[in-house]
Amino acid sequence: MSVDDQKVALFIDFEYLFFTMSNQYGISPQIEDLINIASEYGELKVAKAFADLAGSEELRRAAYLLRTQSIEMVDAAGDHSREKVKNYTDFTMLDAIYGTYLDQDDINTIVIVTGDGHFSSVVARLRVRCKKNIVVVGIPHFINRELYQSASEIRELAIDADACPVDREDLIAFVKNSIRTHPYVTFNKTVSIYSKVRQVDEVAVRKALASLIDENVFVQMIEHTPQSDVRVLRIPDSEEAIA
């Protein structure tokens, strides 16, 4: 059977993908790379990503990355009523994988984006018992070793942490100008606007701006407005006096 006759399903552990890329490399995941990898094995019939969106504003903001590639975002809502949040992302994703296997027997290859060893059992079962081609895609150094033994194939994503560097001095100048010309300059709005204007990765901008706040280049303060209290960026008083 040629690749053209093959059918493929893609399942993405978006929490693993986003937070590992963000925390370890300071960049956003390149979702089109996942589409390209999955498409190497045949026609992409199913494409879903999973995350507890209520648990993270960063994940909610990053969901647009999936929409631009026509990937369905499945909100695996966790139990936030507990002192320690109960996360159901893995369970929701496993249920979808098994459901696709049972309902769509024409799927030949299942591509699973994760590094979580909890998926090793389902990966092994689908490969050995169900005779499916199971491809695990993960981030180098962040793939559980059991997955290497369980999957038909492991694909490691290419990481280019320097692809969209943030110009520190340009960011400082941009934020200072914004503060001096607008009354309520917030962290999130600044990140969003700067990344779009400069065509720089939003996660990289977020990390760079957070570092500037840690270094006291900028400070965050609560401003009272008629509508609500707003946390805004400000230039430290000592520097404003010099300026």
The pLDDT tens digits for 126-144 are 999 999 999 999 999 999 9
Residues 48 and 143 in one domain: yes
162 located within any domain: no
Instruction: Report the distance separating Cα 78 and Cα 87, nearest Å.
Output: 5
Q: Quick one: pLDDT at residue 239?
A: 52
Q: How far is CA 116 from CA 6, 8, 17, 121, 237, in A?
A: 27, 21, 10, 11, 47
Q: Quick one: pLDDT at residue 166?
A: 86
Do 62 and 71 meet the contact criterion of CB atoms below 8 Å apart? no
Instruction: Report the distance separating Cα 193 and Cα 50, nearest Å.
Output: 27
Domain count, the chain: 2
Residues 139 and 175 in one domain: no
Mean pLDDT of 216-227: 89
The rounded percent of the chain whose pLDDT value lies above 90 is 65
Residue 218, pLDDT > 90, answer yes
Mean pLDDT of 41-68: 91
Residues 97 and 209 in one domain: no
Residues 54 and 111 in one domain: yes
Residue 104, pLDDT > 50, answer yes
Instruction: Report the distance separating Cα 47 and Cα 85, nearest Å.
Output: 27
Residue 2, pLDDT > 80, answer no
Residues 144 and 191 in one domain: no
Q: Return the SS3 of 190.
A: helix
Q: Which residue has the higher pLDDT, 1 or 87?
A: 87
Residues 26 and 117 in one domain: yes
Which residue carries 């090793």 as its tokens? Answer: 120
Rounded to the nearest 10 degrees, how much is the dihedral formed by the CA atoms of 198, 202, 207, 210?
80
Q: Quick one: pLDDT at residue 157?
A: 95
Residues 183 and 121 in one domain: no
